[in-house]
Amino acid sequence: MAKGKPLILLSNDDGVDGDGLRFIHPYLKKLGRVVVSAPDRERSGTGHSLTLSRPLRIKKIEKDLYAIDGTPTDSVMVAVHGILNKRKPDLLVSGINLGPNLCDDITYSGTVSAAMEGTLLGIPSIAVSLVVRNHKKPKWDVAAEFTVKMAKYVLKNGLPEDTFLNINVPNSKRASADKYAITTQGRRIYEDILLEKIDPRGKPYYWIAGEEGVLRGGDKTDLKAIRRGIISVTPLHLDLTNYNVINQLSNLKL
Amino acid sequence: MAKGKPLILLSNDDGVDGDGLRFIHPYLKKLGRVVVSAPDRERSGTGHSLTLSRPLRIKKIEKDLYAIDGTPTDSVMVAVHGILNKRKPDLLVSGINLGPNLCDDITYSGTVSAAMEGTLLGIPSIAVSLVVRNHKKPKWDVAAEFTVKMAKYVLKNGLPEDTFLNINVPNSKRASADKYAITTQGRRIYEDILLEKIDPRGKPYYWIAGEEGVLRGGDKTDLKAIRRGIISVTPLHLDLTNYNVINQLSNLKL
């Protein structure tokens, strides 16, 4: 429970100029003091990566608005340990991301990783993504409305220990901030994910692309909710242990 | 079960010239054909990051030895989809990493992420790290011996579905390839992880450092095994859903 005026840390992986961050910023300001610490440029697909090999710079753009020359994870860490002088925010919001963060893709996601880092630092954290595909026009309103609802809830009630939320909002007219489901992380198998091309000098190069493959993971997955036009809220944690196989492997004789 | 001569993909995050990769390479060659696809330089702390914003290049150093100008995840993806023309390896080995990959740190780890990517591509995958600290001299022998044992086991028996192994080997004289435990991922809380310094022009910069904090997670954790001088084998998966709180959150009223 936050005492006095809540402190909200806002980050993303689309960069400090990202449309989704700009859209949600004024809404969150109505709930408390908002400090923005985000990458100085787009950092999609960076996963939970930390910059260890070089120093980081903090650029103050204006009061409570900072651009970091690193990853989303760096931005959160630098905010808490550098900018805020170890005052722990009451809430971390990562987003609103332009594009989905669903199924196994979340392990690559900078948006989700900022929330991971918040969780490691003991901050109740939510990642919010708008499921915009094929360059369609983003409709930020419902995502913003739902983010505010969830932010209010988390500021009041916190989140279960070590748990953060991965929220995906359909980019459709049917979507409503009142229609959401608690979901599980779906599984997806990809196909055809590397394009080979030839550069102007005749040398080959490769570009990572992706095509949606088979979906697994049952009926309660994040992607199933999105396909039904409903907001998906997946509680995640950082424990990757597969407890289901511990007993089986304990009999391992090498 | 591999048919004929097994195909083993070897990667890491210390780069194609990494001592640990060089050390394990000849051992694995005795088990089958080994294709090395690894970053062209050190890529520690890159997490499960993919290079999406620029093309990737593959440099063939010699037969079955490739350097990729990307992350460990890129290296695995490019190997399977580019170099091997979609022939799926029978085993992926990531390592041997110079330094531990324990507790929550694994979410940052390039070594573990290469095994994650292998798992997403349907390859039985193991990540191996030598717990070298404070610039002590690495003792690769036991780690290599254990890797070979585990590689033989996995080539014969496979791994449980969607499961990969995170192996950490103590860097001590007491360590033995016969002493191992099946463990869970420990939790760690960090303190003092950002150093502030002043550059020659008087401007501040920040460097991410780390100090070990409190350990949580019970008696069966990876770190506890290492502290007992025993090899830690943690079965991991890619499902981050916190199933323990699904019911609790299903009553959520926003």
Partnered with residue A226 across adjacent β-strands are none
B172 torsion bin: left (phi>0), alpha (psi -120 to 50), beta (else): beta
Q: pLDDT per residue over B11-56, tens digit each?
A: 999 999 999 999 999 999 999 999 999 999 888 777 777 777 778 8
Question: By the CB < 8 Å criterion, does A119 face chain B?
Answer: no
Q: Which of A44, A207, A235 sits opposite B246 (nearest CB)?
A: A235
Residues in B touching A230 (Cβ below 8 Å)? none
Identify the pLDDT of residue B168: 98
Contact B236 A244 (CB under 8 A): no
Q: pLDDT per residue over B57-109, tens digit each?
A: 999 999 999 999 999 999 999 999 889 987 899 999 999 999 999 998 898 88
Contact A249 B241 (CB under 8 A): no
Query: Which spans in A35-170 are helix H?
Result: 72-78, 110-120, 141-157
Contact A77 B205 (CB under 8 A): no
Residue ranges of E strands in A21-64: 33-39, 58-62
Reported confidence tier of residue A214, pLDDT bands at 50, 70, 90: low
Question: By the CB < 8 Å criterion, does A239 face chain B?
Answer: yes
Residue B5 amino acid letter: K
Q: How far is it, in rounded angstroms, from Cα B188 to Cα B99? A: 17
B38 and B72 in contact (C-beta within 8 Å)? yes
Q: What domains does chain A contain, in order, with CATH numbers?
A: 7-187+217-250 (3.40.1210.10)
Residues in A touching B113 (Cβ below 8 Å)? 47, 107
Give the DSSP H or E segment for B21: helix B19-29
Residues in A touching B78 (Cβ below 8 Å)? 194, 206
Q: Is the pLDDT of residue B174 over 50?
A: yes
Reported confidence tier of residue B143, pLDDT bands at 50, 70, 90: very high
Q: How far is it, in rounded angstroms, from Cα A139 to Cα A116? A: 26
Contact B182 A252 (CB under 8 A): yes
Identify the pLDDT of residue B191: 61
pTM (predicted TM-score)? 0.90
> A77-88 in b/e burial notation, b at 16+ Cβ within 10 A?
bbbbbbbeeeee
Q: How far is it, in rounded angstroms, from Cα A193 to Cα B144? A: 33
Q: pLDDT per residue over B177-191, tens digit each?
A: 999 999 999 987 666
Taking alpha carbons only, the member of B9, B189, B184, B39 closest to residue B110 is B39
Average pLDDT of chain A? 90
Distance from CA of B22 to the nearest CA of A (A): 22
Tell me the average pLDDT across A199-212: 76
A51 vs B59: which has the higher pLDDT: B59
Question: By the CB < 8 Å criterion, does B49 face chain A?
Answer: yes
Strand A125-131 relative to strand A231-236: parallel, antiparallel, unpaired?
Answer: unpaired
Q: Which of A57, A208, A252 sits opposite B205 (nearest CB)?
A: A57
Which of A203-217, A236-250, B62-76, B222-236 comes out lowest in average pLDDT? A203-217
Contacts 24+ apart (CB under 8 A), A204-208: A204/B58, A205/B55, A205/B56, A205/B57, A206/B55, A206/B56, A206/B57, A206/B58, A206/B78, A206/B82, A207/B55, A207/B56, A208/B50, A208/B51, A208/B52, A208/B56, A208/B74, A208/B77
ipTM of the complex: 0.88
Q: Is the pLDDT of residue A220 over 80?
A: yes
Contact B160 A245 (CB under 8 A): yes
Tell me the average pLDDT across A38-49: 82
The residue in chain B having the minimum alpha-carbon distance to the alpha carbon of residue A210 is B52
Average pLDDT of chain B? 90
Q: Is the pLDDT of residue A3 over 70?
A: no
Residue whose pair of structure tokens reads 């023309």 in the numeric block = B85
Interface probe, candidates B13, B43, B48, chain A, greatest A C-beta count within 10 A: B48
Question: By the CB < 8 Å criterion, does A212 face chain B?
Answer: no
